[in-house]
Amino acid sequence: MDLQWNGQEQIAANKATVWTFINDPAKVASCLPDLLESNVHDAHSFDATVKVGVGPVRGKFKFNITLEPSADGNHMDLKISGGGLGSVVDLLAGADLIANGDMTTLDWKGSASMRGPVATIGGRVLDAQAHRVISTTFENVKNQLGGVTAT
Amino acid sequence: MGQSMKRKEDPRFIRGKGRYLDDIVMPHMLYLALVHSPYPHARIKKIDKTAALAVPGVKAVITGEDLVAAKLGWLPTFHGFDNQMVLAIGKVLYQYQEVAGVVATSREAAADGAELVEVDYEPLDPVVDPFQSKLDKIILRDDREQKTNHIYHWEVGDRSAVDAAISKAEVTIKERILSPRCHPAPLEPCGCVSDMNGATGRLTVYMTSQAPHVHRTAFSLVTGIPEDKIHVISPDVGGGFGNKVPVYPGYVVATVASVILGVPVKWVENRTENLTTTGFARDYHMDVELGATKDGKLTALKVSTTADHGAFDAAADPRKYPAGMFGIVTGSYDFPAAFAEVDAYFTNKAPGGIAYRCSFRVTEAAFAIERAMDILANKLKMDPVELRSRNFIKKEQFPYASPLGFVYDSGDYEMTMRKALKIIGYDELRKEQAEKRKRGELMGIGISTFTEIVGAGPGKHFDILGIKMFDSAEIRIHPTGSGIVRAGTRHQGQGHETTWAQIVAEELGLDPQELLVEEGDTDTAPYGLGTYASRSTPVAGGALALAARKVRDKAKKIAAHLLEAAEDDVEWKDYKFNLKGVPGKTVTMKEVAFAAYTNPPPDTEPGLEATYYYDPPNLTFPYGTYIAVVDVDRDTGFVKVRRFLAVDDCGNIINPMIVEGQIHGGLTEGFAIAFMQEIKYDASGNNLNTNFTEYLVPTALETPHWETDNTVTPSPHHPIGAKGVGESPNVGSPMAFVNAVMDALSPLGVTHVDMPLTREKVWSAIREAKGA
């Protein structure tokens, strides 16, 4: 099952502040919804155990997460792969940072490929659930940096 | 015979006293849970058992490589043309494929351990569409010498004659008709308890089996354990419908675990495992062409089928017929020329292709011809009843040799159809429909005049793993005139404990209540090929009657002895032995039974029993006319089945109540297939119907009221003239529903929609139609 979403956050912080924040694995980990545990491996990767509830598929999923910043400081890719309960999830989230005075626009896109019970048993509610996870992550980035608006 | 005797097995079922597989608990028993692949196609780079083995209670973790070391890595499939991995070795080929087994002291510990088996996969692109598989861009089976996804090509009939006839035909139709992948979904899933007794060296396997003897032989062939050291017991079985014929990995892994650990091991699958890994049915994409004259006389039939067999060629088809009995696709009609071909392909889907309440691809064939007849009638602007009537095989043409090779035993299709039309009030319904159409209402009448082919053998044509498809019966009459009847079949709700007793009672003049019927224990029952493909009554039923006649032959000698007469002067009449010409001088079977043990003739061995192995001379050909009446809501796509009539002809009837019950059950399954059920995969190879919230089973709320009736055209070659009926309603009903819905939508220009006819599909068809 392949899914795609996109969204935008207006963050009340300048681009350099946002860029620093999203390059910090520990801070990015703290923005994941339903986070149970995380371990930073190095400057660009960490693992995270999160609580998952998609339809009747309920339990812990463990993910390996890699940050891939662009050299020009305008774009960040977030690669998330892992799973649990016999399911596998590969998720790619990319965010463009656009300076907007003292504000920063975070324009994001996400796509996911899912296999196993999470895609099949939870199929009917998966799209909305996965969208919620990824949008909440970016919303938490905004909230931690003091942003108040979203579109 | 012919009496609606209440089912002898029901008192224990309705009181909760049935003994099913999961009721079996043994001392020191362990539990097996299987690890399944989330990927439909991937290489296995590594399997790490460490975390699973650390779970308290886990005793063993078994992988495919472990089984290879034990020379049990692969199993032969049903017909023996392919091999199937027991647990994945090197590669997974479908989502939910079994990758490892975890054995533990409780179900919960086994499940916890299974979650912690770490499998490192390298995902590969899946092939989920047989038409993509055909292109061979990705070869799925590395293990085969043939580097192609093509499994086989099978054909029957005269291709050139058919092509010529269709090119000359005044009217032709061509339609791709899908018989979608569905699943029998018995309410009791599959399972086993394997118990290897280290002291005796004997393996006892309690298993949900429709064919216990065949399973015993398969276990022996695969494991090398001598067959006398294997005891298969099939306890009460909660529905099979073909799903419990194959050998599944859980049976093998549980047995290996029992051998290794020296204690009994139980494996019972859950609903998702049943729907995603065990034998599916259908998945035939059929290109159907008909040629006809302008006045509706059929001239030719051509069917080219692409079959999706999934990851292994595990289709439940006999060796000689890789596409089963698809040659019945000419149906009830007298075609001057016909041709059918099937090409089967591997895909990254679960293997199977079992006969879901049908005799090896009969349902697909019957659906194709009955849909095509309606499409042709629509094109000819002819009543589908009239088109059928003009083309039926006539009563006087039987035995009828079809252009595709089968010899039909008997039938009177016109008579049966006319009876159904009269009961349903066909002419009045057509008038009502015309009125409704004037008001823009969508009412449909669908007819199916199907012919089945059931009762495999004969052994000269049909086998499983080389074993001829005969069946067997053993009858022992006790001194007081009661008895025990054993057969090589295994019922799963069909009522054999009653009908078998009735057959024997009819032949011997005994009370069916005093005849105990036993099946399912390979240590006691005579060797048989099992219950599926509507073969129990056509084959084992014949064996029972003929075994009883052997008993009667011996009884006649004893009766003559008791009557102090020559055997030739004794005749069997009115359920007792009579001295010819001497009214009132009679001996009952009970008297004979007592004498068999207390006063046998000097030249006759004591006792009264017989065994018969019956290899039928031909198949039987049950048929029927089914009519559905529906109203379709053009705003919501909801189809209301207002009436459904089934008039069946299964030859002589043993127990009308049981036949009616069989028909009710089969019609409910046919209704589900027509409107609700499909095993679908997305483009990534995810199975989208893994439980009963996504794969719907009708409840009493959705199920229509069924009207039933029958005609009787006995099979001339069957010992009691019976043909079998269990599968007719599943085979014959889906197209009646679909034909009815298409009839309702025909004013809008809709000619065909593939099953299942969900509200969404019907609504979409209405929206997209020109006339909407």
Q: CA-CA distances (angstroms) from residue B35 to B82, B95, B277?
A: 24, 11, 12
What value does the mean pLDDT take over residues B94-111?
98
Of residues B272, B684, B689, nearest to A2 (C-beta): B684
Domains and CATH numbers, chain A: 2-150 (3.30.530.20)
Q: How far is B131 from chain A (nearest CA, A)?
A: 20
Q: What is the rounded distance in angstroms from the CA atom of residue A103 to the CA atom of residue B650?
A: 80
Distance of CA B454 to the CA centre of its chain: 10
Selected catalytic residue, list B84, B95, B97, B210: B210
Domain that holds residue B81: 10-124+190-237+244-277
Question: Which residues of B lie closer than 8 Å to A, measured between beta carbons?
Answer: 35-36, 38-40, 95, 115, 121, 272, 682-691, 694
B182 labelled catalytic: no
Residues B605 and B635 in one domain: no
User: For chain B, how are helix, strand and coil distributed in percent, rounded to 5?
Assistant: 30, 25, 45
The residue in chain B having the minimum alpha-carbon distance to the alpha carbon of residue A122 is B688
Q: CA-CA distances (angstroms) from residue A44 to A29, A41, A77, B13?
A: 11, 8, 11, 63
In a domain, B605, yes or no: yes
Q: CA-CA distances (angstroms) from residue B575 to B23, B185, B508?
A: 42, 43, 7
Taking an 8 Å cut-off on Cβ atoms, the answer to whether A121 and B682 are in contact is no
- The H-assigned helical ranges of B404-495 are 413-424, 426-438
pLDDT of residue A86: 85
Residues B529 and B599 in one domain: yes
Residues B654 and B705 in one domain: yes
Q: What is the rounded distance in angstroms from the CA atom of residue B541 to the CA atom of residue A30?
A: 71
In a 3-state reduction of DSSP, which class is residue B649?
Answer: strand
Q: Is B414 exposed, middle or buried (0-12, 13-18, 19+ CB in 10 A)?
A: middle
Size of interface A-B (CB pairs under 8 A): 51
Helix/strand/coil (H, E, C) string of chain A? CEEEEEEEEEECCCHHHHHHHHCCHHHHHHCCCCEEEEEEEECCEEEEEEEEEECCEEEEEEEEEEEEECCCCCEEEEEEEEEECCEEEEEEEEEEEEEECCEEEEEEEEEEEEECHHHHCCHHHHHHHHHHHHHHHHHHHHHHCCCCEEC
pLDDT of B467 higher than 80: yes
pLDDT of residue A147: 58
Mean per-residue pLDDT over chain B, rounded: 96
Of A44-53, B337-346, B546-555, B569-578, least confident by mean pLDDT is: A44-53
CATH of the domain at B584: 3.30.365.10
B625 pLDDT band (50/70/90 cuts)?
very high
Main-chain phi, psi angles of B548, to 5 degrees: -65, -35
Residues B426 and B387 in one domain: yes
Of residues B115, B686, B690, nearest to A1 (C-beta): B686
What value does the mean pLDDT take over residues B601-627?
97
Mean per-residue pLDDT over chain A, rounded: 88
Whether A125 has its CB under 8 Å from any CB of chain B: the answer is no
pLDDT of A121 higher than 80: no
What value does the mean pLDDT take over residues B655-663?
98
- Domain final position from B562, B591, B614: B614
- Is B694:B500 a contact under the CB 8 Å cutoff? no
Of residues A56, A115, A121, nearest to B95 (C-beta): A115
pLDDT of residue A30: 94
Residues B304 and B443 in one domain: yes
Whether A140 has its CB under 8 Å from any CB of chain B: the answer is no
- Helix or strand (DSSP H, E) at B576: strand B576-579
pLDDT of residue A135: 87
CATH of the domain at B209: 3.90.1170.50
pLDDT (tens digit per residue) in B422-436: 999 999 999 999 999
The residue in chain A having the minimum alpha-carbon distance to the alpha carbon of residue B98 is A86
Residues B227 and B98 in one domain: yes
- Domain final position from B277, B298, B330: B277
In a domain, B153, yes or no: no
Q: What is the rounded distance in angstroms from the CA atom of residue B536 to the CA atom of residue B488?
A: 9
What value does the mean pLDDT take over residues B746-763?
97
The residue in chain A having the minimum alpha-carbon distance to the alpha carbon of residue B34 is A86
In a 3-state reduction of DSSP, which class is residue B131?
Answer: helix
The count of structural domains within chain B is: 3
pLDDT (tens digit per residue) in A100-109: 888 999 999 9
Enumerate residues 6+ apart whose C-beta is below 8 A from B712: B649, B651, B652, B653
What value does the mean pLDDT take over residues B22-30?
98
What value does the mean pLDDT take over residues B757-772?
89
Taking an 8 Å cut-off on Cβ atoms, the answer to whether A120 and B688 are in contact is yes
- Is A26:A38 a contact under the CB 8 Å cutoff? yes
Q: What is the rounded distance in angstroms from the CA atom of residue B218 to the CA atom of residue B227?
A: 9
User: Predicted ipTM?
Assistant: 0.82
Distance of CA B254 to the CA centre of its chain: 26
Question: Looking at beta carbons, which residues of chain B come within 8 Å of A56?
Answer: 691
Residues B397 and B291 in one domain: yes
Residues B226 and B264 in one domain: yes
pLDDT of B252 higher than 50: yes
Question: Looking at beta carbons, which residues of chain A come within 8 Å of B685?
Answer: 115
In a domain, B142, yes or no: no
Tokens of A27: 């801070």
B319 labelled catalytic: no
Q: CA-CA distances (angstroms) from residue A58 to A19, A26, A55, B659?
A: 34, 25, 7, 45
B745 pLDDT band (50/70/90 cuts)?
very high
pLDDT of residue A123: 67
B727 labelled catalytic: yes
- Domain final position from B580, B614, B648: B614
- Mutation for testing the A interface, residue in B112, B686, B694 having most A CBs under 10 Å: B686
Q: What is the rounded distance in angstroms from the CA atom of residue B279 to the CA atom of residue B265?
A: 23
Strands B202-207 and B230-233: parallel
The residue written with tokens 């010992």 in the block is: B719
Taking an 8 Å cut-off on Cβ atoms, the answer to whether A85 and B115 are in contact is yes
Q: How far is B493 from chain A (nearest CA, A)?
A: 30
Question: Looking at beta carbons, which residues of chain A come within 8 Å of B684?
Answer: 1-2, 113-115, 119
B358 labelled catalytic: yes
Whether A126 has its CB under 8 Å from any CB of chain B: the answer is no
Q: CA-CA distances (angstroms) from residue B153 to B12, B84, B149, B367, B487?
A: 48, 20, 12, 21, 37
pLDDT of residue A150: 46
Residues B253 and B355 in one domain: no
- Mutation for testing the B interface, residue in A87, A115, A118 having most B CBs under 10 Å: A115
Number of helical (H) and strand (E) elements in chain B, helices listed first? 20, 34
Q: What is the rounded distance in angstroms from the CA atom of residue B351 to the CA atom of residue B355?
A: 13
- pTM for the whole thing? 0.94
pLDDT of A148 higher than 70: no
Other Cβ atoms within 10 Å of B170 Cβ, number: 12
pLDDT of B480 higher than 70: yes
What is the percent of chain B where pLDDT is above 90?
Answer: 95
Whether A114 has its CB under 8 Å from any CB of chain B: the answer is yes
Residues B445 and B494 in one domain: no
pLDDT of residue B770: 66
Residues B439 and B299 in one domain: yes
Q: How far is B682 from chain A (nearest CA, A)?
A: 6
Residues B210 and B333 in one domain: no
The residue in chain B having the minimum alpha-carbon distance to the alpha carbon of residue A119 is B686
pLDDT (tens digit per residue) in B110-141: 999 999 999 999 999 999 999 999 999 999 99
pLDDT of residue A151: 46
pLDDT of residue B771: 56
In a domain, B180, yes or no: no
pLDDT of B443 higher than 50: yes
